[in-house]
Amino acid sequence: MHLMMFIAKRFARLILTILLISTIIFFVIRIIPGDPAAVIAGIDATDADVAAIRAKIGTDKPIAVQYASWLKDIATFDFGNSMITGQSVTKQILRRFPITLTLATLGIILGMLIAIPIGVLSAVKRWSLIDYFGMFLSQLGMAIPSFWLGIILLLLFAVKIHLFPLFGIGSIKNFILPALSLGFARAAIILRLTRASMVEELSKEYIITARAKGLTERLVKYKHALKNALIPVVTVSGIQFGYMLGGAIIIEQVFSLPGLGRLFLTGIYQRDFTLIQGGVVFVALIFSLINFLVDILYSLLNPKIRIS
Identify the DSSP state of 103. H
pLDDT recorded at residue 34: 61
Per-residue pLDDT for 295 more than 70? yes
For the stretch 135-163, pLDDT in tens is 999 999 989 888 899 999 999 998 888 88
SS (H, E, C) 163-217: CCCCCCCCCCHHHHHHHHHHHHHHHHHHHHHHHHHHHHHHCCHHHHHHHHCCCCH
pLDDT score, position 304? 63
Element of type H or E holding 17: helix 2-31
pTM of the model: 0.84
Domain boundaries, the chain: 89-307
Asked if CATH classification 3.40.50.1100 holds for the domain at 89-307, the reply, yes or no, is no
Query: Which of 203, 56, 175 has the alpha carbon at shortest distance from 108?
Result: 175
Distances (CA, A) of 83 to 78, 80, 254: 15, 9, 26
Q: Read off the pLDDT of residues 203-243 as tens digits, 9 standing for 90 and up.
A: 888 888 888 888 888 888 887 888 888 888 888 888 888 88
186-204 tens-digit pLDDT: 999 999 999 999 999 888 8
| Rounded CA separation 243/239 (Å) | 6
Q: Residue 88 pairs with which residues in a beta bridge? A: 81
